[in-house]
Structures are given as structure tokens and as C-alpha cells.
Structure 1
Amino acid sequence: MTVIDQAAELTPAIAEKVGCHYFPPQEYEIGREQIREFARSVHDEHPAHRFEAAAAELGYDTLIAPVTFVSVIGTRLLPELFEHLLIGYAVSDVLHTDQQILLRRPLQVGDRLSSDLCLESFRRSSGTDVMVTSNTVTDPAGIDVIITRTTFVARTGGHTEPAIAAALHNLMRS
């Protein structure tokens, strides 16, 4: 009979990244037509997403984005998240299981935003890897605009079939 010492298992590279931060070098600037197009795509008909006058009635100088516009920023950062923090995984290897969003103020045309990506935790249990990441999005003054926390789950050692991974990669880029 062979006895396997669980403590002797190799620690995955990702475990060393817990608590690490990655600051993507580029800012994300929000454009007027991006807000309008996104609002149309998610069927959000609120006039403040389409007309400056409607946004002004709410006290804003320009169009405001739907709350779910945050996903545009997050999707743009996925390749960097997996390259720098979620080491050993690809988008096609994980299931996005939970998302929390704290929006400090509406996103607006002209916002230039920077991100601080962090791997908050990693745990392995019963053949499953659970990873929690955060993204703190700030304006040029360093003021928090958005804080997101995302949980990803993957099978320990599991990888997606290459053809499926390629199809998912192409879909994410379209």
C-alpha cells in the first residue's frame, strides 16, 4: 500500500502570487460612443446614457455609463490577470462563479481609469482550485471609483481541450 503525504504535494505557482498586486501600465479612457453603444447592447434605455441633457438633470456634466459597463474594463484586463496573477490557468480553464462590484460613482465620458489587480486568495480543496481576485479602479487623482472582487473555480490540474480553448479565445476577442 502506498501512502501519499498531502503536505508533500508541490505548491502551485499561483499560491506564491497570493497578496501580490499587478498594475497594468495603460489607462482606460471612456468615450461617449462607447457608453451609447454599450447601453444599446444591454438594452439599457436610460436617457442619461444617451443624452447630455438627461445626465445634466441628474447632476452630471456628461453621459454616465450603465453600472454593467464595469465588465468592459474587466474583460480588457483578463489577459493580464491570467499572465501575471492566475499563473498556470487560462480563461478557458476556469469558471467565473461570483462577482461583487462596489461602484463609488457613475463612470462618465472622459474618465481615465487605472487598475490595481490583486490575487486575494487561493485554496485547493477536493480536486478544486478556488481563486479570489480584486480590481481596484482609480481615477488620475488616485481616488477609488470601482472595486470588484471575483471568484474563479477550476479543477485541480484540469485544462480545457485545445480546440475549445482556441474557440473561447477567439470569441472573447470578437
Structure 2
Amino acid sequence: MPITAEHVGRTYPDAPVYEVSRAKIAEFARALGDDNPAYFADSPIAPPTFAAVIAAHAWEALFGDPDLGLALNRTVHADQSFVFHRPLAAGDDVVAKLTIEKVRNRGPLDIVTILVDLVVDGATACEARSTLMHTRETAHA
């Protein structure tokens, strides 16, 4: 069964807690080539796109849901946006909560918008929204 608008609103169990550390922040910043001192301070904050690393952990439940028929090898990450309520920082224990927000079907293409709330101490620190374009598997004659 392909993913449809009927799946909008579906939520998944929380991803395992992700502990943000000074080392992970520094490693990510170095990979970006970003030497902003805020990422290397005694109490560093994470670069904004670090949120994508944590959000991606929640995707495992989405791609593991047999009702949806999604396959990572037929998926393109088309768009990403973040709404920050506060920066992610070293010492944060982040829980990622995924919800399907929107589904559009165009021929063999499924366009799926997902929201991953990144929650720290019971409050959303960041909303990571992604649009995924997924090509359904076609039957071969």
C-alpha cells in the first residue's frame, strides 16, 4: 500500500535520546569548515544544520513502517527547513518526535512532508521539516 493523504497525522515512537556533546558539535563544525567560535566555546552551541543529524535518526521509524511502502533508495530529500526556539547546545539530551504532515501523490511520485520536533527537557528546541520525494516501485511485466 503506498503512502497517501490518509497517513497525514501519523506519529511514531520517539527516536532514542541523542546526547549533544562538545566533541560532536566541534566535529560537525569542522566538517562544515565553519570556525565560528560559538561552536568551540566552553559551552558550545551547535551549528543550525546540526539539527538535521538528530532529525534523521527519527526517519528510521518512517522508513521502517511497512504500511507506507517507502524505500530510502527511491527517495530524494527535496527540501529542509528549521524553526528554532533555542539553539541546540552541548549537554542537551534531545528526543526526536516524527509526524507526517502532508502527502501528495503525482503519478508514481509521492511527495511527503514530515516534521521532526527536537525536544529538550519537555520543550521543543527546534522543528525540523523535510520534504521527501519518493518514487513508488513499479510492477514489472
**Shorter-chain TM band:** 0.7 to 0.9
Q: Which amino acid aligns with 2:34?
A: D
When residues 86 and 28 of structure 1 are mapped into structure 2, their CA distance, relative to the original with a 3 A threshold, is farther
Identical pairs, percent:
30
- Structure 2, gaps ≥5 residues long: none
Of 25, 38, 44, the residue aligned with 1:63 is 44
Residue aligning to 1:102: 83
Q: Which runs of 4+ in 1 moved over 6 A?
A: none
**What is the distance in 1 between the residues matched to 2:35 and 2:53?**
18
Of 18, 21, 27, the residue aligned with 1:28 is 18
Deviation per CA, 1:53-103, whole angstroms, max 9, x where unpaired?
xxxxxxxxx111111111210232332221138821121111111111111
Aligned residues: 138
Residue aligning to 1:171: none
Task: Tell me the SS of whatever aligns to 1:66.
Answer: coil
RMSD across aligned positions (CA)? 2.0
**What is the distance in 1 between the residues matched to 2:9 and 2:126?**
19
More helix by share: 1
Deviation per CA, 1:121-153, whole angstroms, max 9, x where unpaired?
22212332111111011112x211010111111
Structure number with the bigger relative contact order (C-alpha 8 A, sep ≥ 6) is: 2
Give the TM-score normalised by the residue count of structure 2: 0.87
Residue aligning to 1:111: 92
Give the TM-score normalised by the residue count of structure 1: 0.71
Deviation at 1:25, TM superposition (A): 4.9
When residues 136 and 85 of structure 1 are mapped into structure 2, their CA distance, relative to the original with a 3 A threshold, is farther
More strand by share: 2
* Counterpart contact for 2:118–2:126, Cα < 8 Å: yes
Q: Which amino acid aligns with 1:130?
A: I
Larger Rg over CA atoms: 1
